[in-house]
């Protein structure tokens, strides 16, 4: 495996002193961007449509510490202001805000650049950037890649959509750092120069169709991860996903594939229950499939992708086996919460689209009590009918999509309605028998009832903790 050298992004010497920079969105990403820019002497306007009392509590800490920076901070809560978007020298947008917002058009019309937080970070980070996107599996692959690299003695950090904004690392970064970065389609919408030296697209299935006009528009946003790559970079693609594999013909980077179903010309695949690396040097066995401890065929795909990325970034092949064996997954991703009275409880709160729920159901042989529902992302819930009819004993619905999901699944399975997630857990407990599984896999966003999918997952786990056999 050819280990790729880092390239230094341009723009590291940008002078922000006394420049007015508007940061749109006062969430985790926006706060980190504002803090970085304040340290560079910028006049930062932190704008958010939420009222002051509804903002992330970390905003208060930023305000309290602002006096210690060389820049100046102005907080504009409760609605965006057109004059601020027009007067800025630069706008940094948080991923939750659609670029179709008319306020960004105000900035563009007067020649003000609008960039993502990851674009800002890219222009200042020292070190290597690995980029990971896809409809499902991003967080697991990101976390595992970072663990494979640290297990090999390298200085790796999980960043981006996984939780820690990439810009947060900029000031302390060194050429030895490797930033394993989970990237959503929202983040990729507003890049211009951002260029990971290795980028992976794990899969493509319909998602976020409440934000995108159609699936093609969503897929195009994902494919932007390869936009600035050249022949000296690497693109990692899933050979088992026809939509993803088709992108190989259009990327400029060297392409490596991964497959759990068949052999590939260059990349990682499974043969006789062994994971094999094939590259210009020939073939090498990496580890047995039974070293993978996380459930589901989809997670084997995630392991293959993570292994390739780790090797590209410099991990020795012989270092992977032990780290793979020790990896037990990520919170809220098909997470085993407890087994009580012979019933297993699994938290897959991150299963926010239909395809993710299909993968979760495929991870179990049957006897599932499925808790689903939330805020609709224009999902095709009828696509769940075959597996639900085959493997699910009971569907327990919550949230805004309750009626839509009930219509889509009616006749395929027994359906119950719960007013809350704890009530859903109790309904599952009451109906489940030893050997059954109570699975939270919502197929929806969480924002109708919860702050985010993590909050939903925590509420599920708290409810399970109260279950008595």
Distance CA 378, CA 376 (A): 5
How far apart are the C-alpha atoms of 52 and 60, rounded to whole Å? Answer: 10
- Are the C-beta atoms of residues 222 and 134 closer than 8 Å to each other? yes
CB 403 within 8 A of CB 428: no
Q: What is the DSSP string of 218-231?
A: HHHHHHGGGTT--T
Which listed residue (161, 302, 347, 353) is catalytic?
A: 161
| The two structure tokens encoding residue 140 | 């697991």
The CA-atom distances, in angstroms, between 79 and each of 26, 50, 52, 97 are 12, 7, 10, 13
Say how far apart CA 204 and CA 180 lie, in whole Å.
Answer: 20
Which residues are CB-contacts of 154 (< 8 A; sequence separation ≥ 6)? 178, 313, 314, 315
- Selecting among 124, 128, 157, 208, the annotated active-site residue is 208
Query: Active site includes 161?
Result: yes
- Whether 238 sits among the annotated catalytic residues: the reply is no
Regarding beta strands 43-47 and 114-116, do their DSSP bridges make them parallel or antiparallel, or are they unpaired? unpaired
Helix (H) or strand (E) holding 320: helix 320-326
Tell me whether residue 369 is one of the annotated catalytic residues: no
Kindly state the DSSP code that residue 4 receives in the 8-state scheme.
Answer: P
Rounded distance, CA 333 to CA 346, Å? 9
Residues with a catalytic annotation lie at 138, 161, 208
């Amino acid at each position: 495996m050819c280990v790729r050298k880092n390239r230094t992004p341009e723009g590291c010497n940008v002078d922000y002193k006394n420049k007015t920079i508007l940061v749109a969105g006062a969430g985790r990403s926006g706060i980190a961007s504002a803090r970085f820019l304040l340290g560079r002497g910028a006049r930062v306007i932190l704008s958010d449509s939420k009222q002051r009392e509804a903002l992330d509590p970390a905003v208060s800490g930023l305000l309290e510490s602002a006096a210690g920076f060389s820049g100046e901070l102005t907080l504009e809560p409760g609605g965006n202001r057109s004059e601020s978007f027009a007067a800025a020298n630069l706008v940094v947008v948080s991923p939750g805000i659609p670029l179709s917002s008319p306020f960004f058009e105000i900035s563009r019309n007067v020649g003000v650049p609008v960039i993502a937080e990851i674009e800002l970070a890219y222009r200042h980070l020292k070190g290597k950037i690995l980029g990971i996107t896809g409809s499902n599996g991003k967080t697991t692959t990101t976390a595992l890649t970072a663990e494979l690299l640290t297990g090999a003695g390298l200085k790796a950090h999980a960043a981006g959509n996984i939780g820690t904004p990439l810009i947060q690392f900029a000031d302390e970064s060194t050429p030895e750092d490797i930033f394993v970065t989970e990237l959503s389609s929202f983040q990729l919408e507003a890049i211009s120069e951002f260029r990971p030296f290795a980028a992976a697209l794990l899969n493509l299935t319909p998602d976020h169709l409440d934000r995108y006009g159609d699936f093609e528009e969503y897929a195009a946003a994902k494919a932007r991860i390869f936009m600035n790559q050249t022949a000296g970079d690497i693109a990692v693609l899933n050979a088992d996903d026809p939509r993803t594999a088709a992108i190989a013909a259009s990327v400029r980077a060297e392409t490596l594939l991964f497959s759990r179903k068949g052999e590939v010309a260059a990349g990682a695949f499974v043969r006789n229950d062994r994971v094999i690396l094939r590259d210009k040097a020939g073939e090498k066995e990496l580890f047995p499939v039974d070293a993978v401890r996380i459930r589901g065929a989809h997670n084997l795909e995630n392991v293959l992708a993570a292994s390739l990325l780790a090797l590209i970034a410099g991990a020795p092949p012989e270092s992977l086996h032990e780290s793979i064996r020790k990896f037990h997954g990520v919170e809220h991703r098909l997470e085993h919460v407890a087994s009580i009275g012979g019933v297993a409880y699994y938290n897959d709160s991150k299963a926010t689209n239909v395809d993710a729920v299909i993968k979760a159901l495929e991870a179990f042989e049957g006897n599932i009590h499925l808790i689903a529902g939330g805020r609709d992302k224009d999902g095709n819930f009828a696509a769940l009918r075959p597996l639900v009819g085959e493997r699910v004993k009971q569907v327990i619905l919550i949230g805004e999509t309750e009626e839509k999901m009930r219509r889509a699944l009616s006749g395929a399975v027994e359906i119950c309605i719960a007013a809350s997630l704890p009530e859903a857990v109790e309904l599952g407990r009451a109906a489940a028998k030893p050997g059954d599984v109570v699975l939270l896999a919502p197929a929806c966003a969480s924002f109708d009832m919860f702050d985010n999918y993590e909050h939903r997952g925590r509420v599920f786990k708290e409810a399970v903790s109260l279950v008595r056999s």
